[in-house]
Amino acid sequence: MYKYDDFDHAIVNARVDEFRDQVARRVAGELSEDAFKPLRLMNGLYLQLHAYMLRVAIPYGTLSADQLRMLAHIARSYDKNYAHFTTRQNIQYNWIKLAEAPDLLADLARVEMQAIQTSGNCIRNITTDQFAGATAEEVADPRPYAELLRQYSTFHPEFSFLPRKFKIALTAAPHDRAAIKLHDIGLELYKNATGDIGWRVFVGGGMGRTPIIGKVLREFLPQAYFLGYIEAIMRVYNRYGRRDNIYKARIKILVHELGLEEFHRQVDAEWADIQKTFAEPPAVELERISAFFVNPTFETIATPVAIYDDARKTNPAFDHWVERNVCAHKQQGYSIVTISLKAVGEIPGDASADQMDTIAALADQYSFSDVRVTHEQNLVLPHVRQIDLFALWEKLKDIGLASDNVGLASDIIACPGMDYCSLANARSIPIAQDIAKRLAPIERSTGELKIKISGCINACGHHHAGHIGILGVDKKGEENYQLSLGGSAAEDTTLSTILGPGFDADGVVNAVEKIVACFNTIKRDNERFLDTYRRVGTAPFKEAVYG
C-alpha cells in the first residue's frame, strides 16, 4: 500500500500542530465557537448527540494491519473500546473529548492516517472497490489513481470551498462494488474495443434529498487525461454550482439544471482551456505510486486444494460461510474473504477494539497485512490462501465475526441514526437489529437481499439503493419509517420506489417480513429479490403489506 513520503508526513504533522494550537486557542477563549467550528470540522471532528465524533479517513478503504491496530488503540485510549465503519469506507469514534483530539490525531499520523477530507465542502475521501488488486475482474488496480486523486485533492486551494461536499468513487471492474453511479463523479476503468484502457466518466449521481443516477459525461477518457478532465469538471462546478441554497448545491443539481449536453459543452470548453497550462503528472509519478500497489509475493499453488475442498464437504457451517463470504481471487489458490460486521442482533459496522486487534493479527498471518473496508460496512482480507481458509474461519468464530451472511437479509447497511447522529429523525440501528433477527432463519433460502436503512433524508444508509430501503422520518415528534423497493447500487443502479404510507418501528419490521414472505412465494427458481421486483413491480408487495 502507499507509504507517505517526507512531504506527506510534513503536511499531516503540520496540520496536527495547527489543530493543537487551534484547540488551545478555543479553550483559552481566543477563538469563538463560530470561528472554531469550521476548523474542527476540517479535522473531522463533529459534535453529535452525546459527544464529539471523530471521522477518520481510510483512503480508498485500504488499511494495513498496523493501521488497524492503531484504530483499535484509539478506540481503547480515547473512546469506549469500539468504533463504527461507515458507508464511505471511513471509521467513526463516538465519544471523543476535544482536549484529547490533537493527541489522537498525532497518534493517527504515526501510522500515516488523518481525518482530513472527512468533512466540509471539499473533495471527500476517495472510495473504490474493496476487491481492488485482488479480483481477476478488473483491468487494472484502480488504487494508484485513487491515491493520485487523494494527493491532488488534499488541501487543493481551488477546491477547498466548493459549493458543497464532493464525492468521487472509482472502479476498474465491470461488477460495481463502489456504487460509482451514486457519486458526484464516478469513474470506471475499462478496455475499449481497440484494446485501450481508459475511463468511463459518470457525473451528477448521488442520494440524499434528491436522488439521481449519474450520467455518462464521457464514454472513454484516455488515462493520460485523468486529472485534467476531473479538474475541468471541478472548475465548472465550482464556478456555477449553486451557493444560494444548500439543498441545490450538489453537482447533480447543476447537471440537472443545465442539462447534460450543456454541462458537457462547458466541461469540454474548460478542458480545452486547461490543456494549455495544466500538466498531467508525468508517467513516472504514476509509476512511483503504482509501485506501492504491486502484488504481494503470491505462492504458486496447485489447485484444487484438497484440504480446503474436504473441509467444505465435511463441515456444512464452513461451507456456508465460504459460499457467502469468500470470493474468487486473481491468483490461483487464493481467495478474497469478507468479514461480516453484521452478526445477527449486533450493530451494523461496529467493531470492538479487541476485534480490530484480532483482525489485524489475522491479516498479518493470512493476508499480507492487508485489510479493506467496504461501503457495505464489512471488512475484507483480500489475499488468503485457500489452504488457510478453515483456520481463519475458526479464528473468526472465536471473536464472533464468522457470520455467513454477506449479501443476505441480515447484512444490512444502517447509518448511526438517532442513537448517535444529531441530524437524525429516527433510529436506524434497532430496526436493522430487529429485521436481522426476524429474517435470519430464512435468509439462506431467500437469497441475495440488500436492506439499507437511513435515519434521515441525508441517506448515509443508502436507502435509495436498497433492494428494500428504509428511511426514518419524523411524524409529529414520533419515529416513522418509509419503505421503498427496487434500489441497487451495483452496475445495474436503480433508485428505489416508495411503497406507500409509513410505519412505526414495529410496523416496519413486520412489513419487511411480509415483503420477504411474498417474494418467497412468487419468485421463480433462484431469482433474486431485485429481479423478482423488476419482473412484477410493486403491486404484489403492496398487497402483502397494506392488504
Structural element, H or E, at residue 370: strand 370-373
- Residue with the three cell numbers 408487495: 541
Q: Which does 195 bind (CB under 5 to 8 A by kind): ligand SF4, another protein, none?
A: none
Looking at the Cβ atoms of 52 and 220, the one nearer to another protein is: 52
Chosen residue from 477, 526, 539, 547 binding another protein by CB under 8 A: 477
Q: How far apart are alpha carbons 254 and 241 in whole angstroms?
A: 6
Of the pair 162, 347, the CB lying nearest another protein is at 347
The site for another protein, by CB under 8 A, has a size of 28
Sign for the CA dihedral angle at 53, 59, 64, 67 comes to: negative
Asked if 456 is part of the footprint of ligand SF4 (rule: CB under 6 A), the reply reads: yes
Residue 49 touching ligand SF4 (CB under 6 A): no
Cell 483456520 sits on residue: 391
51 binds another protein, rule: CB under 8 A: yes
Q: Which of 7, 29, 245, 284 binds another protein (CB under 8 A)?
A: 29
Q: Is 47 among the residues that bind another protein (CB under 8 A)?
A: yes
Amino acid code (one letter) for 236: V
Q: Looking at residues 399 to 428 of the shown chain, list those that interact with ligand SF4 (rule: CB under 6 A).
A: 415-417, 421, 423-424
One residue of 83, 96, 116, 253 binding another protein per CB under 8 A: 96
Cα–Cα distance, 371 to 268 (Å, whole number): 39
Residues 344, 459, 516, 545: which binds ligand SF4 (CB under 6 A)? 459
At its nearest, how many Å lie between another protein and the CB of residue 138?
37
Helix %, strand %, coil % of the chain (to 5): 45, 20, 35
278: its cell numbers: 495544466
> What's the grid cell of residue 148?
493520485
- The strand ranges marked E within 192-333 are 197-203, 215-222, 326-328
Quick check: bond before 304 cis, omega within 30?
A: yes
Stretch that binds ligand SF4, among 26-34, 156-164, 432-440, 451-459 (CB under 6 A): 451-459
Cβ atoms of 350 and 356 closer than 8 Å: no
CB-nearer residue toward ligand SF4: 386 or 482: 482
> Could you tell which of another protein, ligand SF4, none binds residue 481, using a CB distance below 5 to 8 A set by kind?
none
Helix (H, G, I), strand (E, B) or coil at 229: helix
C-alpha angle 160-166-338 in degrees, rounded to nearest 5: 125
* C-alpha grid cell, residue 171: 472502479
Q: What minimum distance in Å lies between the beta carbon of 121 and ligand SF4?
A: 16
CA dihedral 138, 140, 145, 147 (to 10 degrees): 80
Distance CA 308, CA 349 (A): 29
CB burial of residue 109 (10 Å; 0-12, 13-18, 19+): buried
Nearest-approach distance from CB 421 to another protein, in angstroms: 10
Toward another protein, which CB reaches closer, 235 or 427?
427
Q: Which does 505 bind (CB under 5 to 8 A by kind): another protein, ligand SF4, none?
A: none
Verify binding: residue 21, another protein, rule CB under 8 A. no
Task: Give the relative orientation of helices 316-325 and 306-314 as an angle to the nearest 10 degrees.
Answer: 110
Residue 347 binds: one of ligand SF4, another protein, none (C-beta under 5 to 8 A by kind):
another protein
CB nearer to ligand SF4: pick between 402 and 495: 495
Selection from ligand SF4, another protein, none that 456 binds (CB < 5 to 8 A by kind) is ligand SF4
Question: Which residues of this chain interact with another protein, rule CB under 8 A?
Answer: 26-27, 29, 32-33, 47, 49-52, 80, 95-99, 347, 418-420, 424, 427, 429-430, 433, 477-479
Question: Which residues of this chain interact with ligand SF4, rule CB under 6 A?
Answer: 415-417, 421, 423-424, 454-456, 458-461
